[in-house]
Structures are given as structure tokens and as C-alpha cells.
Amino acid sequence: MPIENLARSDVVTARENESVQELAKRMDESKVGSIVITDGNEPIGIVTDRDLALRVIGDGTDPASTTAGEVMTDSLKTVDETDGFYRATELMSEHGIRRLPVCNENNELVGIITSDDLTELLAEEQMQLSDVIQAQRPAY
């Protein structure tokens, strides 16, 4: 199944010059744990709730004067929208990450997929398999 069928298209984004305080507020309002940092439509980094905890609060940095560009992970891993979900899980596992921005062939951000999304998909697949197995059991 292509990632484009699983990814969320309502990605929360910000520019790298936005303050960390603004990002935290947007995360709270949007009920997300990450914000993809973009330059135009191209993803260039990601800031997670963990980044805020470790790189801002843990370091005693002022969130109002610290920018997304200063705390973002800029070695961003992305997945192509035509890749399958196995590729996404492989990238997440290889790099120890829980969120993958999804890009089109022009490297433009079109969505995001999280480990929670993949876990939910696998749970649904297990339920469907369970239903098939139960339907094939002989009645006693």
C-alpha cells in the first residue's frame, strides 16, 4: 500500500525563523508532537516535542528568542509518496525516528506518517485477519 494512502495531509508546518514559543503553542493547538520546518513547499527540518524538552527547556534556552532553525533536526529523513509502508517502517527503524514527512517527486511536502499511524494500520490488518480466521473455523 503506497504511503500516499496512509499519510496525513494536514501537516503542521513552520518557517525556520519562527520562535520555539510559537511552535510549542501551535503544537498544543493542533494536538501534534511535531512541526515540519519548510522552505517554500520543501521540508528542511523537523521540530518535535522532544526537541523542545531537550534542546530548549533542558538547556535553559529562552523559547521566545530561540528559533525553529536553531533546534530543528536538519538531517531530515523523508519518504516518497509512492513508497510502500514497509519502506517507511524500514526508515523509522534504521534511523530511530517516529515521524516521516512524505514528499512528491519534486521534494514538496504532501503529508506526514507517524509510527502511531503504522501501528494503527497493522492493528486493523490483524483484526481483518482475525475475522477471516474466525469465519473459517468450523462450528461446534
pLDDT tens-digit profile of 40-71? 999 999 999 999 999 999 989 999 999 999 99
At residue 124 the predicted structure's pLDDT band, cuts being 50, 70 and 90, is confident
Cβ(109)–Cβ(101) below 8 Å: yes
In the chain, where are the structural domains located? Answer: 3-136
Rounded to an integer, what distance in angstroms lies between the CA atom of residue 101 and that of residue 97? Answer: 11
Model pTM?
0.83
Residues 6+ apart with CB under 8 A from 10: none
pLDDT of residue 135: 77
- Give me the half-sphere count of Cα atoms (radius 13 Å) on the Cβ side of residue 97: 23
Q: CATH assignment of 3-136? A: 3.10.580.10
Please write the tens of the pLDDT for every residue from 15-30.
Answer: 999 999 999 999 999 9
